[in-house]
Amino acid sequence: MEGPHKKLRPSGGYRKTASFQTATVIYDATVWFCEKFLEARSRTVDQMVQAARSGRQNIAEGSRASATSSQTELRLVNVARASLEELLLDYEDYLRHRRLALWAQDSPEASKVRGVATRLRKDRLDRSDPTDLIDLSDQQRWTLYACWLEHAEGAVRANALICLIHQANYLLDRQIAALEAAFIEEGGYSEQLATERLKQRRKDRSDRTDQTDQSDPTDLRPPACPKCGALMALRTARAGKTPGSQFWGCTGYPECKGTAPL
């Protein structure tokens, strides 16, 4: 009996990503910042807590969606990025409206906050066993930032959180760029399923040379691109006159936009 089928695209694992871990610190710190420094019934409190929560939750939801939809994953990560950008503006507003100083990016204070993540990355690289990574709990990670995030002055907490949001946004920008590149190169989930079906059909045909279903278009071999000669891959139309229909698209896209019908 065959074992369980391996997923075409893995999902989950978000708890070990730096973006999710940083977003968790930001969310917890925002809840406690609002409790201490803002009027509980203020609409701003609801907006800030919701933005911080959205940043964290959408990273997790996007990771889970990655197994079935590249577009959904990309959309949710973008939502997380936009939510944290909104939260960043709220903290900047807090400082400006109270005429409190915003730390310069190269200030000693900001450098110390950024240095926590830098030290963690360096410690990982310095380990002789690359699989032996630092796996901190949420409480342990919080402790690394506690001197700023539990400070009696709201200006210190707000500035430290601004540093952390910039770090999280940088990580999400890299994640979004990687997802976009992968989608262009590999296609979405439906395209990958079609490619795997092509592989399986070829295997079945080689195992059963006396019987081949010529009516099934997935039996066709990928043709060469009529424009550049590169191998073509099965794609699915997402717009135009026949959305959802499949066609051959050049693997050199977007440099080459050659197509061919099935």
User: pLDDT for 18-50, tens place per residue?
Assistant: 999 999 999 999 999 999 999 999 999 999 999
Domain chopping of the chain, boundaries:
14-186, 220-262
pLDDT (0 to 100) of residue 130: 41
pLDDT digits over 189-238, tens only?
Answer: 555 556 666 667 667 666 665 554 445 554 556 778 888 888 778 777 76
Distance separating alpha carbons of residues 116 and 164, to the nearest angstrom:
10
Residue with tokens 């999400």: 172
Give the closest residue to 161 by CA, choosing from 146, 176, 140: 146
Q: How many CA atoms lie within 13 A of 13 on its CB side?
A: 5
- Listed in sequence order, the residues at least 6 apart from 149 whose beta carbon sits closer than 8 Å to its beta carbon are 25, 29, 32, 33, 142, 157, 160, 161
Which tokens is 248 given?
């051959």
Residue scoring higher pLDDT (219 or 180): 180
Give the closest residue to 163 by CA, choosing from 151, 143, 177, 149: 149
Give the closest residue to 166 by CA, choosing from 223, 247, 84, 94: 84
Please tell me the total number of residues recorded for the chain in this structure: 262
pLDDT digits over 118-172, tens only?
Answer: 888 766 555 544 433 457 899 999 999 999 999 999 999 999 999 999 999 999 9
Q: How many CA atoms lie within 13 A of 97 on its CB side?
A: 9
Distance separating alpha carbons of residues 149 and 159, to the nearest angstrom:
9
Percent of the chain with pLDDT over 90: 48
Q: Decide: 87 and 116 in contact? Cβ < 8 Å.
A: no
**Crossing angle of the two packed helices 138-149 and 154-186, in degrees rounded to 10:** 130
